[in-house]
Structure 1
């Protein structure tokens, strides 16, 4: 039996929720998986993960306003709005029920989407994420490096901080991380990055986690300087149908070590 080849990839701009959103869809079969990216990053950064997912799976990626190819929102926004916007985007694509995966900042959006769309979100995957402003934070010396998008624009700077910022396999793949950031269509605007920071600063999922009834997979690394692993244990306690997968890596091992973590996601989605 020969291995399946990935389906065609369609890239387009779609008007949804008053925004013009850049979207990538790799066509396949079954329940599509929607990928919500980390702060400041365009969807190209997720290429290593997509390459390791089942080639027969429909994969939907998008740039939130102010990142990659999506224009900056005229006004700041919050996660409830973004979750509503994502629903409108999926409707425009003709997509119904989905699985949603969120990495870091995107994990907050994924949680909010699952809460607002209980019938549309089949399964939820939360990776290297937490409960927002009410969580156990990383060390201030680490978090201060997150306040600007400089790492997306300056590859030398990105390489110099990658190990300390992301931990895990990024400690030995500093140059690879920097090169991955350079693959982005655009590094994103400072205003767009600020909007994302503001969205995270006023949001928490603590009151809503018990109401998320979807089966949930939480993936967390023991060497994550940004989101300490204790946050994964807190979410596991509060989510009614959660499974916790711990690994030895760091904040972006979903990308830098996709060969190990993608099969964990596929097993969860298909069992």
Structure 2
């Protein structure tokens, strides 16, 4: 637990004390999801440091006393980096956290090298998912009631997860957010959109990852982001639902690692620009 910008937050870090040729990752989680839900990704990216925190009222972070918004939480995340002695990071976000990641990358552009957006959108200006999925998405029982979650899993997260053990495995990692924590997360992005700013303010190289079977954030939203972000590339996980990061773990980690570590093409491009 750390005091960050006047808030008490549960913070998790990986390998920050180990020497690495790569920048650490600052990760923003999905709505209502606690640190443990994405810990396997932090473990998989073993060549770099990793930083994540539970949003107020989520996981082990205490309830917020007042509402927050993308600006204040990006500021809080920047203060956390200061406390950890970190100047620059690669930023990642999934679903709700993808909006936070976009906002952080624009608000704190000087600290953000590259950006990875997973199963996310430009905020309020988005193509909505199926009404059936969105109705269940808005119900906090999906975190609180295990039977409810398993019963509606395919509707919520797509058949791309199949009948793998990932369902129960994922459920075992989740801790229900508090009612206030869940409400304030919903309120945080109310009316927010990155769309008008992306073409002008988001200059970092950006990887957009989407599933073509996502009932919550349809693929169209990823294509829209790709159109708006000048220096971006879109990777589509075939058969991937909203949690393709879990169902397509090896493919996802390979794509993320390749993007963050850079490729030969990137090196040639940089040399050409320098010349």
Asked if Structure 1 and Structure 2 have the same fold, meaning a TM-score greater than 0.5 normalized by the shorter chain, the answer is: yes
Match of 2:9 among 11, 17, 21: 21
- Corresponding residue SS for 1:119: helix
Larger radius of gyration: 2
Q: TM-score, normalised by structure 2?
A: 0.89
Question: Among 159, 165, 171, which residue is 1:181 paired with?
Answer: 171
1:46 lines up with 2:38 in the alignment:
yes
Q: Distance in 2 between matches of 1:61 and 1:255?
A: 18
Could you tell me whether the CA contact under 8 Å between 1:168 and 1:253 is conserved in 2? no
State which of 207, 218, 226 in structure 2 corresponds to 1:217. 207
Task: Please give the alpha-carbon distance, in whole angstroms, between the structure 2 residues aligned to 1:204 and 1:67.
Answer: 23
Partner of 2:187: 198
CA distance in 1, matches of 2:218, 2:160: 16
Map of 2:110 onto structure 1: 119
Is 1:90 aligned to residue 81 of structure 2?
yes
Structure 2 partner of 1:246: 236
Matched with 2:266 is none
Aligned length: 256
**Alignment partner of 1:126: what SS?**
strand
How does the TM-score come out when normalised to structure 1?
Answer: 0.91
String of CA shifts for 1:163-221, please: whole Å, max 9, x gaps.
11111432323x6324423324x421011001111112221111111110000000011
Q: Give the strand-richer structure, 1 or 2.
A: 1
2:25 to 17, 24, 33: 33
Helix, strand or coil for the counterpart of 1:182?
helix
Partner of 1:5: none
Q: Which residue of 1 aligns with 2:268?
A: none
C-alpha separation between the residues in 2 aligned to 1:125 and 1:183? 23
Matched residue SS, 1:232: helix
Whole-angstrom distance in 2 between the partners of 1:217 and 1:229: 14
Structure-2 separation of matches of 1:181 and 1:268: 29
Q: Which runs of 5 or more structure 1 residues have no equivalent in the other structure?
A: 1-12
Root-mean-square deviation over aligned CA pairs: 1.3
Q: Structure 2 unaligned segments of length 5 or more: list them.
A: 263-275
Structure-1 separation of matches of 2:159 and 2:27: 21
Question: 2:49, 2:159 → 1: CA distance?
Answer: 29
Partner of 1:109: 100
Provide runs of 4+ in structure 1 moved above 6 Å: none
